[in-house]
Structure 1
């Protein structure tokens, strides 16, 4: 996509804020900030002059050390700018990285708190890059297609360790001058704006909504009006669905009216807008302004006059303005509205926006046989919603062959595919304007399954032989063969086909019927075979007694004379016997005699046969069975080995070894029990985690225990399970695997470089991959190898989440190559490798101390505060650090010093006055060194002033004088506080604060009063703890006639205490402060004592006592039930005493 045109940022002094209030409160730029270059908004920064780069052509020795001259972290600050709506603008900030130990972190903020990193998307892009030559970090904020609400105050903050700097700037967005003031997609789109909400727009009010971020590709804006004008009418419906325009009627009407020019109206000062839109269920107010305030207007909807009915339509008339309010808008209100005054009229279109159509129930994967019918069904949130069906990205439509049919039933939408073929395999998608869902269709060729195979038979003459088989398709016909010759029905031979069962019946078996019989289904390249054995029993006639004899044949036995029976089937042993008289038969298994009382076992004897039957054979029925026949002429025995075979046990849950973009590798262990028959393979199934339908992945048994499953959808969770198959059948399914998500490996990490190197270590750093995919990044793997070798050695036993590592224990002087790979669920990415091998050897670097700016002035601390000095330095190999104070080494008992490779820390936990002084730090490598000093001043409160004297008293004035304190607290005395007090009350009042001189005149004193004075000293810490009190008082003489007291005896005003207002008993609630009040009279002022249950409570912190003009108050703080009781107040003076009491009840909270 071509780079969008960028708007040049204007000079700060030329930017005019549209809001005067904003212009007045705009923060002032620092004086040392450089002016904004005209090209600061361009993406190419090669022409931008950075404060960290020296002019070209100067020798290295004449280049200034700009690192010492920095007044902040910024070398170029973003400047205020202006832009028109729809245009682009870029703000640039640059930071010099020479003095920084690590990459600085930058935040772009709008207003007071909005971090713009979360708004990056279609309209906002944040970029950064680092120039290794100039060591300058450049940070850019690109605003694309600016909107009016983007205007406001912005702030850029940069921080690195203990350093911080920020810069404020403004953005002014001017409205674009256009003839048409609305967007067709806004006017005709009924879908809710929530469905298409753009997480990249700077709509800060939208942050109050809980929503998920929507990733929108940065595609260029399209002009839908232009597309409609140039498109044929047959494409209108497709364009409407693509751009979310669901009202085709309104779109065509507006398209016809585009070229019509509205005439000026004499009746209307302001007409209706061309179109309005409102969300379903909300209300809207239509407004016109008429020329005649007394004019009456009519409102029409689709040409029909609107009459006020209930609360649906409300007409209002305010001066020249006329309003029509439509409440609770529905789709029926989507129409053309007209306001008329006589022959004059104004028309508008109202569009009611519907909520987005969401997919409530997703499609399900399906696996069917060729020729079957398939139905894909989904459920959406709205009835009658429009959906689109696609196959492998191609839209499906109805055709003449009715291959695809689309069905709607309320909220359900069904895609029906008739007579599916292999070409119908693929991924199907249903789309709405609010979501989409995928499903896969797999079509398999029809395979005939054999439910019951024909078995070998051994029969005797004149018996009946029946060959029977059962197949999966009842419509399949077949042909019977004997020794390769087709069998034709006759009087003894019958062929039947009933449903899925095919039978060949031979009556009155003769020796010539013996042979191989085969059943061949029509249309399938396989057959079923069995053998008919003719048993000829020869009995020699011997009169009288004949010893018993067992005649065993090979029925159902293998070469090892073992009879196989499938678990669950009937085990029947039919053994021919002879003997005269008829022998008795006994069946045993081991030492146990088997009889009919054993439940599933049935034993019966007929003439010439003994039959042993077990219903529903089980595994424990396996073993050696013995049959014993006896008569008076003797006995005979025979052993029959019976083996019970079954389907295998289900395997354990499979394990997912790795995943790919649309595949996974699954592994499992063989079942613990194979059912007595070797496992011939496995069948695998998968399903989506939220689905209930399992899809078979293979029909022929897969012999290995590791399988790669493909054709999955990236980002969708799946589960796998496996069946074991032997000659008997298929086991039950295993437990499902852990859910997994098919994902592709990430792209390789970017920007791999060497950050630092020593004799045995190397520091590497890189940036995350550009493409991570739908799976989370698990970490990074770091590997190294010697130059010329192909053996890569992991640097760490596990993955690391950091993008910078230190690899240790490397051989000194060797040339090593390093690479980094990103890992996610799909495995490792392609490696990011250094361009060339690195020699493991430390690079010599002169020692240099980088003294922070705040330590270049005297560091002032209060007594008791913590001192923590962090001073970074550089130097390789690691320099030796020495601290001194006033040219003496520091005492490690008082000061803690910690040194690292890049800084040194001086720490004093609790500072004292003696810690003041000049501290000097020295870093030294061999005979090269660097020094830096730090002045520390520990300050404390000053002592009291000295020798406060009353120098003179005249009129209502007093002259005071004092001397400065002996102890100034180790800092300058900033002033004094002078206070006065009437000797009668000794209540102190401040006369002067922050007074600088050591003498003053106190005026406006009251005649006849005698005053005392005191002075506090003040420094930067605060007031002195103690004041200096004047030794002498100052009496203000009365002027005029001198009063001569009479000679008579002075009246005694003494009065014993007496309570004039009693205490009142109260009931209060626990937890809320309570007060008890009374009033007392007495001369001299009586002493007041409070009691609770006759116990003095004067000094208890729970109570507070107040006395004001004889009114006594006792405050009980947050009483509890324990505080209830009898409270008493006692007043005592020289003339007597008085007591009053009351009861207090404290109730607990209800």
Structure 2
């Protein structure tokens, strides 16, 4: 078979040929490659062939062979061998037997018929019990047009891809994928899928096993998927995905499961099976032919006919007729087989390259779909699920030559669809799978530190909005650490983000202790205490025995107050009572004394009496109550009859007292026998003052003052101030709170946080007594905020407002290289380099200061900062010795100063005048007329020297020349130069009696004038002698040459004869006989040609000369001979030599030479055969000329009877 595409160079030196073999035989195809290391693969119907029992593939050196064993009728298909980009096709033909009965499979298709379809690319048939699907490395180097129909390689990780396979029900099959690990940093991850998203890793078990192993020698990972005892529902599309870090590849393959093979022996049930080809289907007709008696088969001598090929080509209306003609009774089975048969796909006329079957992309990434069209001008439409796509920001259409691209940016799950590309009526379809990436933790949980009993919040950030997040607190393993009052909990076994919770346990404070009681019989005894934590529970004990509540004994816990109440006290209630808070190692104790009262009737009245231990106005007798708590004053009183009680309140002693009653809302006043009780619910600051109780009865009255002080937590301090910052620290200061809560502030607690964070971190756990604090261990370049709490004996205040954000930065290093650049009587110029270390903060500028020698008072040289590294300080005292320093400033403040090594005296230094003439001005400066002249000549000298310019020892004309002087240079400027500006310019700089001079020569050049007196001196043959004189005006520079031109009088077209010709006479050659010529000459200098030429006044005619005739020649055989002639012509003619009117230009026996118009033909060792008429032909655009010469070659020993011509030379 000829190759489908002819190549100029083929990789095969020997190609396989089409062979013919009989059924059951073995055939071998051989191929030989040009190189030994080339990879060769074999194909059957454009599908790769792998080694199996059916196909044997071998390779030795550059010899390759394919052996097909046990040939059957289905093997008669097209085959191909591929090496690199070369592909050779060949066929296997089946030799038909002479007497063959009609194929029973044609008459009665069996259920096993699908097994006889062309084998899968693995090369294993359905009878193989353990097939291995592999394609090896054969896909390397193959052109896209010859590749198998597999998924497009995204990164090329596979070295061997799993291929589609076929297996019978109950048999095993293995799919193999290999990945090269040489270029991978870690072990690749492989996933096997069935359908679109079913991960087969969770389906491993009895029927599915996934295995992998690694070859250390070849560094190849092998992944296998074993399907054991295949079932019919195992059939379908599969996909293998491999990934390693940022690389990804995938491959699609199919599995076809055929119906189980029938067993040997007769089964009556199978004889009555319906003739359907699909297992489990009840359709079809009953076939009783198996029960009929076998008859002798009539041997037909007709050639074998493929009925299926006839059916494929026939229209459906002819199916019944063809089936009756060839004895097919199962029409339904015939139609299903025709439907399953693979049809040869027609090559698309519109698409050179179609879309791959499927693509995969991760969510948020972009993908590019590519096709190639046959017509570059064809209109392409892209559709998504049948709807046309229009270009947007996410859908981009591109056209590059024959290629068309569809780019989808920022893919979402909505882009998971089928995409179609249409050109007219033709289309190509693919499916895009969008893989959703896993949810990642963007910002981890942060450590928290709270007090015991407080609310704590943990916050983290995930990559996807709306992602489901689970928080765990009961870990499988814990590790507890305790440091003082801090408790740390760390999770050990989980790998998800964790954080630490630091707990600080509060100390339990007793606000009100229980007091000893002395009560009488039938009275009520109340033990009351108040602690700082309202959540703390406690137990009451009497003489070491726990007290149980009963009808007379009541235990209450309301907020921070714990009460033990005993009604109708009896003598047995006397004892020691103790309250023990749970979780704390201390207790509160008091004693109950039973007072037995004997009443004697005295018929007299007792004046009222108040019995208080806290009477007076000393600090020890002041009653303290915490704001928000209940204030209860229980005052024992006596008097007979029962006295009347009045409560009053004054802000201070001696002030007017306000009478208090129950109408005040929070105030409750009650009197009992022997007691008067005053209660204020939720004490506030205004409740502080002097409370007076007045008791009256007919016998008299008594008064007592009680000083009550309400204490509270202090107010929050003002926002702290940041005094200074360091590289990893800062100094913060704050003011005490305006109100200390009635108790002195014992210290402060500081917290800090990053500006972009929500978590405050406590810096100290013990109260800090000062109002200035240095915070350390911060990160340079990160913005922080600070806040302060005030602490007194009652508790901790609310936090202050946050400070202004600040960034810990360190000052830069000192500037380097400070030195004096220039100095005068009142100014100084300083320069320096930037600091070596600047840090994370930007450099704000530099500050320059100076002071007199011996003084410590530094004076800023200017207000503010400068960003430059050079500065001029003005208004300095002349003659003083001054010291200077420079400091760099950033957010952290000034750096260390950079100072001069010694003081500088402010006085201008005398400098001798000196002109620094540039090197290019030390030689003559040449300018063309009209060009600009700009001379910049630097000089030095202090004080500023006086500059004077002259031209040829005369002052300059200010209208023609502009002069501009500065402290360091002088500029001479001429806008448009003229010839008169040429000359010697001299500049002089002078300071007092000292001076310096320099001169500059300027030459202004122009085009020269025309030459003079052009004359024709002589004429001979084809030549003319010319002579002329130099021009009068040479343009102020030397004449570098002349340009001579000639023109025919008829055409007057000028041609250059000589260019850059330096003499004033010349000879013009190669003129044409009989023509009349005119000549002209241009003068040339460094500017260019003269504007006008000098024309010749005489006319020249060339006389015609008869060309010479050449005589015949005679040479001796065996010796080289040459034939010569001369030729001239303009343009240069083309020369051709002929022998007997035959062109001999390309014959190796002859050599042609041409040297300045002399043509030579050399005949190498001529023989008598070389004799003949030689002709030389010259041709150009003006015409042609021919000269002939007859050559005779004599024998070597023939006597010479004729004299050789003059112009024939023999090399003997």
Give the TM-score taking structure 1 as reference length: 0.40
Instruction: State the alpha-carbon separation in 1 of the partners of residues 455 and 541 from structure 2.
Output: 36
SS in 2 for 1:531: strand
Instruction: State the alpha-carbon separation in 1 of the partners of residues 789 and 1071 from structure 2.
Output: 108
Between 1:278-287 and 1:613-622, the stretch displaced more is 278-287
Residues 271-301 of structure 1 deviation map (CA, whole Å, 9 limit, x = unaligned): 9999999896787667799999999999999
Deviation (angstroms), 1:656: 1.8
Q: 1:291 to 1:462 in 2, by over 3 A?
A: same
Partner of 2:483: 409
2:1011/2:1028 contact within 8 Å kept: yes
Q: 1:836 to 1:588 in 2, by over 3 A?
A: same
Between 1:728-737 and 1:1067-1076, the stretch displaced more is 1067-1076
Residues 354-373 of structure 1 deviation map (CA, whole Å, 9 limit, x = unaligned): 99999876755522579999
Q: 1:717 to 1:332 in 2, by over 3 A?
A: same
Deviation (angstroms), 1:672: 1.0
Q: 1:218 to 1:65 in 2, by over 3 A?
A: same
Q: 1:557 to 1:697 in 2, by over 3 A?
A: farther
2:1081/2:1093 contact within 8 Å kept: yes
Residues 822-880 of structure 1 deviation map (CA, whole Å, 9 limit, x = unaligned): 34334444555666776776654345688999999999999999999999975556779
Residues 81-112 of structure 1 deviation map (CA, whole Å, 9 limit, x = unaligned): 99999999999999999999999999999999
Residues 725-763 of structure 1 deviation map (CA, whole Å, 9 limit, x = unaligned): 222222222222112233444444444444345677654
Deviation (angstroms), 1:235: 66
2:351/2:372 contact within 8 Å kept: yes
Q: 1:654 to 1:947 in 2, by over 3 A?
A: farther
Instruction: State the alpha-carbon separation in 1 of the partners of residues 812 and 122 from structure 2.
Output: 40
1:867/1:907 contact within 8 Å kept: yes
2:635/2:677 contact within 8 Å kept: yes
Deviation (angstroms), 1:651: 1.0
Instruction: State the alpha-carbon separation in 1 of the partners of residues 413 and 468 from structure 2.
Output: 15
1:197/1:214 contact within 8 Å kept: no
Residues 700-749 of structure 1 deviation map (CA, whole Å, 9 limit, x = unaligned): 32222122334444444332222212222222222221122334444444
Between 1:969-978 and 1:1092-1101, the stretch displaced more is 1092-1101
Instruction: State the alpha-carbon separation in 2 of the partners of residues 667 and 849 from structure 1.
Output: 64
Between 1:889-898 and 1:169-178, the stretch displaced more is 169-178
Instruction: State the alpha-carbon separation in 2 of the partners of residues 386 and 873 from structure 1.
Output: 80
Deviation (angstroms), 1:340: 21
Instruction: State the alpha-carbon separation in 1 of the partners of residues 266 and 827 from structure 2.
Output: 64
Q: 1:637 to 1:937 in 2, by over 3 A?
A: farther
1:476/1:521 contact within 8 Å kept: yes
SS in 2 for 1:382: coil
1:123/1:200 contact within 8 Å kept: no
Q: 1:67 to 1:548 in 2, by over 3 A?
A: closer
Partner of 1:370: 452
Instruction: State the alpha-carbon separation in 2 of the partners of residues 27 and 576 from structure 1.
Output: 114
Instruction: State the alpha-carbon separation in 2 of the partners of residues 592 and 1093 from structure 1.
Output: 154
Aligned counterpart in structure 2 of residue 283 of structure 1, from 366, 374, 389: 366
2:577 is the counterpart of 1:517: yes
Deviation (angstroms), 1:664: 3.0
Instruction: State the alpha-carbon separation in 1 of the partners of residues 963 and 842 from structure 2.
Output: 43
Q: 1:983 to 1:630 in 2, by over 3 A?
A: farther
1:765/1:805 contact within 8 Å kept: yes
1:946/1:965 contact within 8 Å kept: yes
SS in 2 for 1:170: strand
Residues 412-468 of structure 1 deviation map (CA, whole Å, 9 limit, x = unaligned): 99xxxxxxxxxxxxxxxxxxxxxxxxx987565686677987688887787555555
Q: 1:128 to 1:569 in 2, by over 3 A?
A: same
The residue correspondences of 1:1054-1073 to structure 2 (distance < 5 A) are none
1:189/1:244 contact within 8 Å kept: no
Instruction: State the alpha-carbon separation in 1 of the partners of residues 141 and 1126 from structure 2.
Output: 93
2:122/2:163 contact within 8 Å kept: no
2:1045/2:1080 contact within 8 Å kept: yes
Residues 1076-1118 of structure 1 deviation map (CA, whole Å, 9 limit, x = unaligned): 9999999999999999999999999999999999999999999
Deviation (angstroms), 1:1128: 95
2:427 is the counterpart of 1:345: yes
2:277/2:336 contact within 8 Å kept: no
Deviation (angstroms), 1:671: 0.8
SS in 2 for 1:1122: helix
The residue correspondences of 1:1103-1122 to structure 2 (distance < 5 A) are none
1:190/1:244 contact within 8 Å kept: no
1:99/1:850 contact within 8 Å kept: no
1:51/1:76 contact within 8 Å kept: yes
Structure with larger Rg: 2
2:661/2:668 contact within 8 Å kept: yes
Between 1:481-490 and 1:748-757, the stretch displaced more is 481-490
SS in 1 for 2:1027: strand
Between 1:553-562 and 1:163-172, the stretch displaced more is 163-172
SS in 2 for 1:227: helix
Residues 515-564 of structure 1 deviation map (CA, whole Å, 9 limit, x = unaligned): 99876667656776889999999999863343333333228986453232
Partner of 1:1143: 1190
Between 1:1123-1132 and 1:997-1006, the stretch displaced more is 1123-1132
Between 1:953-962 and 1:932-941, the stretch displaced more is 953-962
Partner of 2:17: none
Instruction: State the alpha-carbon separation in 2 of the partners of residues 447 and 1148 from structure 1.
Output: 141
Instruction: State the alpha-carbon separation in 1 of the partners of residues 224 and 336 from structure 2.
Output: 45
1:380/1:412 contact within 8 Å kept: no
Q: 1:79 to 1:246 in 2, by over 3 A?
A: closer
1:469/1:503 contact within 8 Å kept: yes
Q: 1:254 to 1:207 in 2, by over 3 A?
A: closer
Aligned counterpart in structure 1 of residue 964 of structure 2, from 875, 898, 905: 898
SS in 1 for 2:1083: strand
Between 1:668-677 and 1:616-625, the stretch displaced more is 616-625
2:168/2:261 contact within 8 Å kept: no
1:190/1:354 contact within 8 Å kept: no
1:750/1:766 contact within 8 Å kept: yes
Q: 1:291 to 1:862 in 2, by over 3 A?
A: closer
Between 1:682-691 and 1:774-783, the stretch displaced more is 774-783
Partner of 1:215: 298
Deviation (angstroms), 1:668: 0.9
Residues 38-71 of structure 1 deviation map (CA, whole Å, 9 limit, x = unaligned): 9999999999999999999999999999999999
SS in 1 for 2:1169: helix
1:764/1:806 contact within 8 Å kept: yes
Q: 1:954 to 1:1110 in 2, by over 3 A?
A: closer
Instruction: State the alpha-carbon separation in 2 of the partners of residues 595 and 535 from structure 1.
Output: 32
Instruction: State the alpha-carbon separation in 2 of the partners of residues 143 and 1115 from structure 1.
Output: 86
SS in 2 for 1:1031: coil
1:93/1:139 contact within 8 Å kept: yes
Between 1:658-667 and 1:639-648, the stretch displaced more is 658-667
- Counting matched residue pairs gives 1083
2:579 is the counterpart of 1:532: no
Q: 1:201 to 1:989 in 2, by over 3 A?
A: farther
- Structure 2 residues without counterparts, runs of 5 or longer: 10-94, 488-498, 654-659, 1099-1106, 1197-1211
2:106/2:328 contact within 8 Å kept: no
1:757/1:841 contact within 8 Å kept: yes
Between 1:1120-1129 and 1:221-230, the stretch displaced more is 1120-1129
Residues 660-684 of structure 1 deviation map (CA, whole Å, 9 limit, x = unaligned): 4444332110011112211111222
2:1123/2:1162 contact within 8 Å kept: yes
Q: 1:58 to 1:494 in 2, by over 3 A?
A: closer
Partner of 1:440: 500
Instruction: State the alpha-carbon separation in 2 of the partners of residues 507 and 215 from structure 1.
Output: 127
Between 1:922-931 and 1:332-341, the stretch displaced more is 332-341
2:713/2:795 contact within 8 Å kept: yes
SS in 2 for 1:727: coil
Instruction: State the alpha-carbon separation in 1 of the partners of residues 272 and 108 from structure 2.
Output: 42
1:557/1:563 contact within 8 Å kept: no
Q: 1:364 to 1:1132 in 2, by over 3 A?
A: same
Instruction: State the alpha-carbon separation in 2 of the partners of residues 181 and 736 from structure 1.
Output: 95
Between 1:1087-1096 and 1:528-537, the stretch displaced more is 1087-1096
2:715/2:738 contact within 8 Å kept: yes
Q: 1:90 to 1:462 in 2, by over 3 A?
A: closer
Partner of 1:18: 102
Deviation (angstroms), 1:695: 3.6
Q: 1:1136 to 1:297 in 2, by over 3 A?
A: closer
1:106/1:159 contact within 8 Å kept: yes
Q: 1:696 to 1:271 in 2, by over 3 A?
A: same
